[in-house]
Amino acid sequence: MKLLIAEDSLTSRTVLEYVTRKWGYDPIVTEDGEQAWQVFQESDIKLLLIDWEMPKLNGVDLCKRIRALETDNPPFIILLTGRTETKDIVSALDAGANDYIVKPFINEELQARIKAGQRILDLQTKLKKTQDLMIYEKEVIENIILKMRASKPFDGSQLRTLDCPVEKTSGDIMLSALTPDKARYVLMGDFTGHGLVAAVGGPIVYDVFYTMTAKGIALNEIATEINRQMLEKMPTGLFLGAVFIELSPDGQALTILNCGMSDALIYRDCKLWQKTPSSLLALGIIKQDFDDAVHFDVKPGDRVYAFSDGITEVINSEKEEFGQARFEQLIEQLLTTNAEISFLSDAVEQFKGHEKQFDDITLIELTC
């Protein structure tokens, strides 16, 4: 293993080069901090032995420069020092040194500390390889899930949607299709959490929803089958909040089944007309009947909204939630101004500012 030595004393430098080479290392020797910095930047060196007191750039400042570099595989730095006071040692460790040894040192102790650094670097390298493999496998699975989603027969007529995932794959799902008699079925779902773990349940739901919709099977039976398969196939703790919507072929009858989601909203003449709160548990928790659907007579131009709580739970810099009431007013503004659906996401983004988005943001608007 290569070992970068930075020592301005010729005697100490010569001794360090000799003993470390004897121990099986490949020492690269520099005379001051600036020279060591240049060599470090130009070489793939992970193990460093540097003196504190050096001209041009001392060891502590060299540590700070090295730690300022962005890397997921940082070097191991041992600082050589004649200082023994606690405050000096603390400042060296705070600057980025992993270990230190006080001069004059015993060769056996130095060898042991270098070996300890090498062991840590070896473990770090193994960990990085494992992380790289996990990232690769995660990307493969994400791409498979995205292709599976893209292959499904989503019918977007009469719909406008928002889809703002936290990660590449979303834990929220939006499904839409027509039955043989031209009734429209819509499913807006929100899996526990977000990202890949949440998205793995999607293919089960897609398959059941689209297969049974194509056969004209009743919406409550679709919900029952999705619930059954999730209980059978998915791990405990991963469940799906879902709003099922059915619009009759003539567009005059609306059915909503809310299972553990935010209120589904119906707007008429640009005003909030009806709310449909959850009356059932989310899918995948327990076996349950799905006979609590709510029915409405609707007219052309009525708008139905189903959305994930990622919207209403957005936090701004003052730790204030966007909230349901603000969101309901925002939809009214959207309809009053006849704006694009992105008006909603833009307003949420403006409210959030520089704060982090913690959950997927998804919305479906159905026009009757």
Instruction: Quote the CA–CA distance of 304 and 230 in Å, as a whole number.
Output: 27
For residue range 152-165, what is the model confidence (pLDDT) as tens digits? 688 989 999 998 87
Q: Three-state SS for 17? A: helix
Per-residue confidence (pLDDT) for residue 154, from 0 to 100? 82
pLDDT at 270 over 70: yes
Alpha-carbon dihedral angle through residues 334, 337, 343, 348, given to the nearest 10 degrees: -60
For residue range 27-72, what is the model confidence (pLDDT) as tens digits? 999 998 899 999 999 888 999 999 988 888 998 999 999 999 888 8
H or E stretch at 128 = helix 107-150
pLDDT at 226 over 90: yes
> Of 163, 140, 117, 363, whose CA–CA distance to 261 is shortest?
363
pLDDT at 149 over 70: no
> Of 137, 165, 53, 153, whose CA–CA distance to 100 is shortest?
53
Q: What is the 3-state secondary structure of 196-232?
A: HHHHCCHHHHHHHHHHHHHCCCCHHHHHHHHHHHHHH
CB 76 within 8 A of CB 46: yes
For residue range 278-329, what is the model confidence (pLDDT) as tens digits? 999 999 999 999 988 999 999 999 999 999 888 898 999 889 999 999 999 9
Instruction: Quote the CA–CA distance of 234 and 197 in Å, as a whole number.
Output: 11
Per-residue confidence (pLDDT) for residue 146, from 0 to 100? 60
CB 43 within 8 A of CB 28: yes
The residue count of the chain comes to: 368
Per-residue confidence (pLDDT) for residue 25, from 0 to 100? 93
Confidence of residue 142 (pLDDT cuts 50, 70, 90): low
For a pLDDT cut of 90, what percent of the chain falls above it?
A: 57
Confidence of residue 193 (pLDDT cuts 50, 70, 90): low
Per-residue confidence (pLDDT) for residue 169, from 0 to 100? 59
Model pTM score:
0.67
Strands 184-191 and 240-247: antiparallel
What is the architecture, at CATH level 2, of domain 2-129? 3-Layer(aba) Sandwich (3.40)
pLDDT at 338 over 80: yes
Bridge partners, residue 3, by sequence: 27
Mean pLDDT across 227-237? 87
CB atoms within 10 A of CB 62: 28
> Of 163, 366, 149, whose CA–CA distance to 245 is shortest?
366
Domain ranges of the chain: 2-129, 152-367
Q: Which residues are CB-neighbours of 220 under 8 A, at least 6 positions away?
A: 244, 257, 290, 291, 293
Per-residue confidence (pLDDT) for residue 204, from 0 to 100? 85
Instruction: Quote the CA–CA distance of 314 and 358 in Å, as a whole number.
Output: 8
Confidence of residue 144 (pLDDT cuts 50, 70, 90): low
Mean pLDDT across 163-176? 76
Average pLDDT, the chain: 89
Per-residue confidence (pLDDT) for residue 238, from 0 to 100? 83
Tokens standing for residue 318 = 């003052």
Q: What is the DSSP string of 326-347?
A: HHHHHHHHHHHHT--THHHHHH
User: At which residue do the structure tokens 């703790």 appear?
Assistant: 237
CATH superfamily ID and name for 152-367: PPM-type phosphatase domain (3.60.40.10)
